[in-house]
Amino acid sequence: MRPRLLAGLHKIPLKICIIQISDFDTPQALVGKKVVPILQKDDGTCMTESLDIAFYLDSIRRNILVDDTINSDFELLKQTFLNDYIRLTSPHFIHSCREFQNENDINYYQEREEDFLKIRFADLHHDYKKRKLDMESLLPSFIPFLTSPSPTESLTVTELSLFPFVHHLKTQVDINLPPSLHLFWQQLSPYIPI
């Protein structure tokens, strides 16, 4: 999401190729390990790590990113909600993301996520409403990290890192965002290349 957003904000043409969740061969051939995203440059060389790719794309045109590090307070706050975020969004990704094209993709992803969460997807619905409400009550804590007056023109790396979480919570869970987070999401989401 972070590199795609930067590419969209800069209007850099990208050919987006979807690597299926269960496809180990393609990333292995490109970069020697199972990882995404991968940026293959015009010269055939490849980059990994979404933030590194975002910095590279930002350097091609005018720099939108105004700093180069993620706020450490944001990172600490992110850890407090990450487990609930994954519990809310992961089961939805199977039905909405293009990486899931067959049962092998779904089974591999679901087993990996269930192992991480220590709970089966089938059991996540029991406290879904409470978890969603808890997440909504936590979201105002992220408002202080919105510091760019016009995020389509200049963006902090912290805002760039926050955006995917807000986007997935809105599009996958239809969570109620506080007004400033909702505006932030509305301003940036049209720039994500399909």
Domain ranges across the chain = 1-82+127-194
- H and E: helices and strands count for the chain: 8, 2
Q: What is the pLDDT along the chain (194 residues), one digit of tens a residue?
A: 999 999 999 999 999 999 998 899 999 999 999 999 999 999 999 999 999 999 999 999 889 999 999 999 999 999 988 988 999 999 888 888 888 888 888 898 999 999 998 999 888 888 888 889 999 999 999 999 999 999 999 999 999 999 999 999 999 999 999 999 999 999 999 999 87
Domain 1-82+127-194 falls in which CATH fold? Glutaredoxin (3.40.30)
Side-chain-side CA neighbours of 139 within 13 Å: the count stands at 24
Report the predicted TM-score, pTM, of the whole model to 2 decimal places: 0.91
Return the structure tokens found at 107.
């089974």
